């Protein structure tokens, strides 16, 4: 089987292989549920961006939220990537993984004073500011420490990315960015604030975008603003077009990253902005197809209306199906012994919304392993402990080597920091 976007994750004679390692062997060795990532697939995705950007003044900022495992961040840092972060927690992760603060852009609508202080102290490259209130607080915080914060203003271009409403961010109705029509005044304000140094402009119109046109529309809107703001006397050194490029989960046909970048650069050049530094913030398109979630079949429960295949991974491990109705491919990890049946693949959590895939034809028996594909992005990073389920372990494969990059959580991890009540005289006998 050919897995789109994941040339090194293959089905070889019915065995799911992550590079040179069989998923079944990893499941036995590290137990399930288990996230497995292929470094070759990540390298392939990264090269697609890097090749298209070669020779350009650019910064590729991996969006940490997609997969924030320290080893994954370290992998990107070692390859010269910057990072797009949205919290103080993500900042500390990047630093712990050896990321360069001078390659960090700090996005997000709700940065706190403490987060600003810390990001200023480590001297991040840029704050992507989303409101006038944030701009004013940042100026105050920076001035208080005798610094000036480099900022980019995130503009909401009011462009429809044509994706799921929960992950569309560039519409007027979304909470993100400064409205396009308000942007010139916001830049003028920023340029007058004592603790602010205006560095650029940015936007991010959504995620899992499978069409290049909304990007070009958003870029055009940004360039209109660049011209207007510079005519007003505020120079802008960089343009940050955000992230959002989609991947193939089922039959989507997103543009290849290289093709998208080439198209945007062409537009930038055609409009006479080729000298500017360009920043990208991709997350999913760098790691999404590189990961699989391996899970064991616990029980088969055929029914009069639906057949349930109950596995040991659940919505707490993989929220995307429950939260967005996302379709993610599920395959057997080894050649089928059983007959193929149409199953709803569900987890052990006590909610009917706890499903990983519906109406999937699978030949499985209890004790077999199946894998959810394209689970490298927004899977483990969105995992929770609901139903007091420890979060899964993570493994990174490179060739024939598999490294445990995150241990499975223990029950002690889950209750750490909790306290029982003291004696309570009023408690009922």
Catalog residues that contact ligand LLP under the rule CB under 6 A. 63, 65-66, 84, 107, 167, 204, 207-208, 242-245, 281-285, 320, 324, 378, 382
Q: Which is nearer to ligand LLP, 63 or 199 (CB)?
A: 63
Q: Which is nearer to ligand LLP, 66 or 153 (CB)?
A: 66
- Which residues are known to be catalytic? 350
Query: Measured from the CB of residue 107, what is the shortest distance to ligand LLP in angstroms?
Result: 4
In DSSP terms, which residues pair with 238 in a beta bridge?
Answer: 200, 277
Query: Measured from the CB of residue 54, what is the shortest distance to ligand LLP in angstroms?
Result: 21
CA atoms within 13 A on the CB side of 245: 29
Matching residue, tokens 């979060």: 391
Q: Which is nearer to ligand LLP, 355 or 369 (CB)?
A: 355
Query: Measured from the CB of residue 92, what is the shortest distance to ligand LLP in angstroms?
Result: 19
Query: Measured from the CB of residue 232, what is the shortest distance to ligand LLP in angstroms?
Result: 25
Nearest CA among 27, 37, 34 for reference residue 368: 27
Q: Which is nearer to ligand LLP, 61 or 310 (CB)?
A: 61
How many Å apart are CA 420 and CA 274, to the nearest integer?
62
Query: Measured from the CB of residue 169, what is the shortest distance to ligand LLP in angstroms?
Result: 6
Query: Measured from the CB of residue 109, what is the shortest distance to ligand LLP in angstroms?
Result: 9
Query: Measured from the CB of residue 250, what is the shortest distance to ligand LLP in angstroms?
Result: 14
Token digits of residue 287: 């790691």
3-class secondary structure for the chain?
Answer: CCCCCCCCEEEECCEEEECCEEHHHHHHHHCCCEEEEEHHHHHHHHHHHHHHHCCCCEEEEEEHHHCCCHHHHHHHHHCCCEEEECCHHHHHHHHHCCCCHHHEEECCCCCCHHHHHHHHHHCCCEEEECCHHHHHHHHHHHHHCCCCEEEEEEEECCCCCCCCHHHECCCCCCCCCEEHHHHHHHHHHHHHCCCEEEEEEECCCECCECCCHHHHHHHHHHHHHHHHHHHCCCCCCEEECCCCECCCCCCCCCCCHHHHHHHHHHHHHHCCCCCCEEEECCCHHHHHHHEEEEEEEEEEECCCCCCEEEECCCCCCCCHHHHHCCCCCEEECCCCCCCCEEEEEECCCCCCCCEEEEEEEECCCCCCEEEECCCCCCCHHHCCCHHHCCCCEEEEEECCEEEEEECCCCHHHHHCCCCCCCCCCCCCC
Query: Measured from the CB of residue 385, what is the shortest distance to ligand LLP in angstroms?
Result: 18
Nearest CA among 99, 133, 100 for reference residue 116: 133
Token digits of residue 255: 């543009």
Q: Which is nearer to ligand LLP, 26 or 91 (CB)?
A: 91
Q: Which is nearer to ligand LLP, 83 or 343 (CB)?
A: 83
Q: Which is nearer to ligand LLP, 17 or 203 (CB)?
A: 203
Q: Which is nearer to ligand LLP, 5 or 243 (CB)?
A: 243
């Amino acid at each position: 089987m050919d897995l789109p976007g994941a040339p090194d994750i293959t089905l070889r004679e019915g065995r799911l292989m992550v590079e040179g390692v069989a998923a079944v062997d990893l499941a036995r060795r590290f137990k399930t549920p288990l996230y497995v990532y292929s470094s070759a697939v990540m390298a392939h995705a990264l090269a697609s961006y890097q090749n298209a950007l070669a020779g350009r003044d650019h910064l590729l900022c991996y969006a940490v939220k997609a997969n924030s495992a320290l080893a994954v961040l370290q992998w990107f840092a070692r390859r010269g990537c910057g990072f797009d972060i949205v919290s103080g927690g993500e900042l500390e992760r990047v630093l712990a993984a050896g990321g360069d603060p001078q390659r960090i852009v700090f996005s997000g609508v709700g940065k706190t004073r403490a987060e600003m202080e810390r990001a200023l102290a480590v001297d991040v490259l840029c704050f992507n500011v989303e409101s006038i209130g944030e701009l004013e607080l940042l100026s105050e915080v920076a001035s208080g420490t005798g610094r000036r914060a480099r900022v980019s203003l995130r503009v909401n271009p009011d462009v429809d990315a044509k994706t799921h409403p929960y992950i569309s961010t560039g519409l007027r109705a979304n909470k993100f960015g400064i409205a396009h029509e308000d942007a010139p005044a916001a830049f003028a304000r920023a340029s007058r604030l004592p603790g602010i140094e205006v560095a650029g402009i940015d936007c991010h119109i959504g995620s899992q975008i499978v069409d290049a046109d909304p990007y070009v529309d958003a870029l055009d809107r940004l360039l209109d603003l660049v011209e207007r703001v510079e005519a007003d006397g505020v120079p802008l050194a960089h343009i940050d077009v955000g992230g959002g490029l989609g991947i193939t989960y089922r039959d989507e046909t997103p543009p290849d990253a290289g093709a998208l970048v080439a198209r945007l650069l062409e537009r930038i050049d055609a409009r006479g902005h080729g000298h500017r530094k360009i920043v990208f913030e991709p997350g999913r398109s760098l790691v999404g197809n590189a990961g699989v979630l391996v899970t064991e079949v616990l029980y088969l429960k055929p029914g009069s209306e639906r057949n349930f295949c109950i596995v040991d991974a659940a919505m707490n491990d993989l929220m995307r199906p429950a939260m967005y109705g996302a379709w993610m491919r599920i395959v057997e990890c080894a050649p089928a012994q059983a007959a193929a049946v149409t199953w709803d693949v569900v987890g052990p959590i006590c909610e009917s919304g706890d499903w990983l895939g519906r109406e999937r034809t699978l030949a499985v028996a209890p004790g077999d392993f199946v894998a959810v594909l394209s689970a490298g992005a927004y899977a483990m990073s969105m995992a929770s402990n609901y139903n007091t389920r420890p979060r899964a372990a993570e493994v990174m494969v490179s060739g024939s080597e598999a490294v445990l990059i995150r241990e499975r959580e223990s029950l002690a991890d889950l209750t750490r920091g909790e306290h029982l009540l003291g004696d309570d005289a009023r408690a009922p006998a």
